[in-house]
Amino acid sequence: KTKAFIFDLDGVIVDTAKYHFLAWQKLAESLGINFTHEHNEELKGVSRVRSLEIILGLGNVEATQEQKDEWLVQKNEDYLQYIDKMDDSEILPGVMKVLEFLKSNQQPIILGSASKNARPILEKVNILHYFDDIVDGNDVSNAKPDPEVFLVGANKANQPNENAIVFEDSVAGIQAANIAGMMSVGIGEASVLNEADVVFNNFTEITEEFLRELINK
């Protein structure tokens, strides 16, 4: 049988959250805003524009749209410098095995990410060719937990929503998959991702048997 396997990028395939953090922290510091690792958790799966609003809110900083646009450009330029140095050693453990298994079983593999930098990152870590389609922050206007990114993804794979399986590390992403009527697979802590249909700490815990069952369901 054929299903649609949809992967989030940041926190699922690669750990770019640390680079987002460094770039946001630099900006926050220049504005006199205290921005910690804990605050960064709230930005996972959240769009760039919304992330800036959250950070400005932390410091009660108000700004014009023009100023905000300038900061967004600055943050992204810093972020791009970090991801420029990425290579395939930054692919998270177990991911390659899962991608290989799905490919050898002719299953559609789709990227469903909020990031506008998804393509260059996949290129950097050398796995762009595994993906049959990419749906990212450039293609959708509604951010997770809105299901738009995953609905477009399943559609590109020519599969009904109930045939889609979504791998996500963020609460907003799990909610988006659930709203879309897709199977949600959480990657991370079960206590945080408690709305997911099933949770794994990482991809090394996902067996071929589990994937085979999903395909044949």
Token pair 């770039």 is found at 23
Taking CB under 6 A as the criterion, the residue among 3, 44, 124, 156 binding ligand B16 is 44
Ramachandran region, residue 173 (left: φ > 0; alpha: ψ -120 to 50; beta: rest): alpha
Count of alpha carbons within 13 Å of 185, Cβ hemisphere only? 19
Q: Does 153 bind ligand B16 (CB under 6 A)?
A: no
Rounded least distance, CB 12 to ligand B16, Å: 7
Can 8 be counted among the known catalytic residues? yes
Contact letters for ligand B16, residues 94-113 (x by CB under 6 A): -------------------x
Q: Does 169 bind Mg ion (CB under 5 A)?
A: yes
φ and ψ at 10, to 5 degrees?
A: -70, 120
**Phi, psi angle pair for 210, to nearest 5°:** -60, -45
CB of 172 to Mg ion, least distance (A): 9
Residue of 145, 140, 124 whose CA lies nearest to 195? 145
For 109, phi then psi, to 5°, come to: -120, 120
Residue of this chain nearest to Mg ion (CB atom): 11
Q: How far is the CB of 17 from ligand B16 (least distance, A)?
A: 6
Q: Does 136 bind Mg ion (CB under 5 A)?
A: no
DSSP 3-state of 13: coil
Partner touching 47 among ligand B16, Mg ion, none, CB below 5 to 8 Å by kind: ligand B16
Q: Is 88 a catalytic residue?
A: no
Q: Does 8 bind ligand B16 (CB under 6 A)?
A: yes
Told to check if 186 binds ligand B16 by CB under 6 A, we report no
